[in-house]
């Protein structure tokens, strides 16, 4: 996933045609050249479903704003600084499927899935146990399911969530066994996508209300103990209590004109990492950074890393020790995977698409 344009999500009402074009451009930039044809197929699926990139609708109220200041202090992670990052991560395999990569070399170790006629698999997410990967698999016009496959690749993928006429996106398996949060859109409908919680064991599905995040992000994330669910609600991220997922949410503050996306909880229960993207202004270039927020107060408490000038973060993953893995779109195009080490970004791969997620338990 990659190439997110610097745009504000609070300027105008949604325009489906324009938003689908933005989605096409982002998808094209997130994938390497060999994926362009497959991505085009998926975009046609999304066009048929009438899905646009959601514009902020946070209960009819403007999102809370943060006044400009010098910024939060640099993030300190003693545990991460004393330990090696996870040895593997999962991302697109450049052939339309999902694959496992070695952190040390950036090379593909094994394939977990293969592209079907519906288009390239995408949005891989590792389960809390670290033993399986959930991902989105397009299955023809107006249809996509959420599949699950062992990280070992010992078995083929199986369907975790599907529905007639539903495009299932953005899987987020909970640390509580069998529960998966996800986003669904009705085929041929211009209505807002919906946030769902499904029980894989019983098949029960709960409607948690409209989803106003961007459907091509990793917009959902559970806390390590499964008690909180972070949800994109462009241009902010909100945090829901798992005991009352339809109740009041804690909104993360955002500077005027900027956008928060791709939430990922860190090792501490109440700390949440997000990508903060600010557009180009007359006073200078746009910026992209990873901020650490308090999920309790909704305010930023630290700066994890800033993207190089002109580059933009496209994906984010944090393990339980605080190791940060990002997908990055450099100023000269392409896509990179990098991890944070002692305040510096270390490039892992120039080949794999962004959207990478650490493979680790807990």
Which band of pLDDT confidence, cut at 50, 70 and 90, is reported for residue 349?
confident
- pLDDT of 283 reads 59
Return the sign of the alpha-carbon dihedral for residues 272, 273, 274, 280. Answer: positive
Residue 266 lies in a domain: yes
- pLDDT of 189 reads 73
Which band of pLDDT confidence, cut at 50, 70 and 90, is reported for residue 83?
confident
> Is there a contact between 260 and 235 (Cβ–Cβ < 8 Å)?
yes
Residue 207 lies in a domain: yes
- pLDDT of 117 reads 86
Q: How far apart are the first and last CA of the chain?
A: 24
Render pLDDT for 272-330 as a digit per residue (tens, 0 to 9): 999 999 987 655 678 999 999 999 999 999 999 999 988 999 999 999 889 999 999 88
Residue 11 lies in a domain: no
Rounded Cα distance, 312 and 130, in Å: 28
Residue 1 lies in a domain: no
Query: What mean pLDDT is predicted for residues 193-205?
Result: 95
- pLDDT of 362 reads 56
1-5, 167-171, 193-197, 306-310: the lowest-pLDDT one = 1-5
Rounded Cα distance, 252 and 311, in Å: 24
- pLDDT of 141 reads 77
Residue 150 lies in a domain: yes
Render pLDDT for 128-172 as a digit per residue (tens, 0 to 9): 999 999 999 998 878 999 999 999 999 999 999 998 889 999 999
pLDDT at 95 over 60: yes
Q: Considering the chain, what is the average pLDDT of its residues?
A: 81
Token pair 């829901």: residue:
240
Render pLDDT for 222-274 as a digit per residue (tens, 0 to 9): 999 999 999 999 999 999 999 999 999 999 999 999 999 999 999 766 899 99
- Using DSSP's 3-state secondary structure scheme, residue 168 falls into strand
> Is there a contact between 355 and 218 (Cβ–Cβ < 8 Å)?
yes
pLDDT at 4 over 70: no
Residue 7 lies in a domain: no
pTM, two decimals, is 0.81
pLDDT at 45 over 60: no
140-149, 207-216, 320-329, 351-360: the lowest-pLDDT one = 351-360
Q: Which of 251, 253, 255, 315 is nearest to 286 (CA)?
A: 255
Which band of pLDDT confidence, cut at 50, 70 and 90, is reported for residue 3?
very low
Domain range for 73:
16-358
Residue 88 lies in a domain: yes
- pLDDT of 279 reads 86
The percentage of the chain sitting over the pLDDT mark of 70, rounded to a whole number, equals 77
- Give the number of domains in the chain: 1
Rounded Cα distance, 90 and 125, in Å: 8
Q: Is 122 exposed, middle or buried (0-12, 13-18, 19+ CB in 10 A)?
A: buried
Q: Annotate 32-98 with DSSP letters as a single string.
A: -GGGHHHHHHHHHHHHHHT--PPPP-STTSPPPB----S-PPBP--HHHHTSPPPSEEEEE-SSSSE
Residue 230 lies in a domain: yes
pLDDT at 28 over 50: no
- pLDDT of 268 reads 64
Which band of pLDDT confidence, cut at 50, 70 and 90, is reported for residue 213?
very high
CATH number at residue 144: 2.120.10.30
């Amino acid at each position: 996933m990659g190439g997110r344009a610097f745009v504000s999500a609070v300027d105008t009402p949604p325009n489906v045609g324009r938003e689908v074009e933005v989605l096409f451009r982002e998808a094209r930039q997130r994938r390497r050249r060999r994926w362009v044809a497959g991505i085009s197929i998926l975009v046609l699926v999304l066009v048929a479903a009438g899905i646009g990139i959601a514009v902020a609708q946070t209960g009819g109220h403007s999102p809370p704003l943060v006044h400009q200041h010098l910024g939060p202090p640099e993030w300190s992670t003693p545990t991460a600084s004393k330990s090696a990052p996870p040895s593997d991560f999962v991302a697109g395999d450049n052939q339309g499927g999902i694959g496992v990569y070695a952190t040390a070399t950036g090379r593909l170790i094994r394939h977990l899935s293969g592209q079907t006629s519906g288009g390239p698999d995408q949005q891989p997410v590792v389960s809390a146990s670290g033993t399986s990967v959930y991902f989105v698999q397009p299955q023809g016009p107006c249809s996509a399911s959420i599949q699950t496959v062992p990280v070992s690749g010992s078995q083929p993928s199986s369907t975790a969530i599907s529905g007639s006429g539903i495009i299932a996106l953005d899987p987020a398996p909970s640390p509580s066994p069998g529960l998966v949060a996800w986003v669904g859109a009705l085929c041929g409908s211009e209505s807002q996508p919906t946030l769902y919680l499904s029980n894989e064991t019983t098949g029960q599905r709960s409607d948690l209300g409209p989803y106003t995040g961007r459907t091509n992000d990793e917009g959902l994330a559970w806390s390590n103990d499964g008690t909180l669910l972070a949800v994109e609600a462009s241009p902010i991220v909100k945090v829901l209590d798992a005991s009352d997922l339809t109740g009041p949410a804690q909104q993360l503050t955002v500077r005027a004109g900027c956008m928060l996306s791709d939430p990922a909880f860190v090792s501490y229960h109440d700390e949440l990492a997000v990508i903060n993207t600010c557009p180009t202004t007359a006073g200078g270039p746009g910026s992209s950074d990873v901020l650490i927020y308090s999920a309790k107060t909704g305010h930023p408490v630290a700066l994890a890393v800033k993207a190089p000038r002109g580059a933009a973060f496209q994906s984010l993953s944090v393990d339980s020790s605080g190791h940060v893995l990002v997908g990055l779109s450099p100023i000269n195009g392409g896509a990179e995977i990098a991890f944070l080490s002692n305040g510096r970004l270390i490039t892992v791969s120039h080949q794999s698409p962004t959207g990478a997620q650490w493979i680790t338990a807990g």
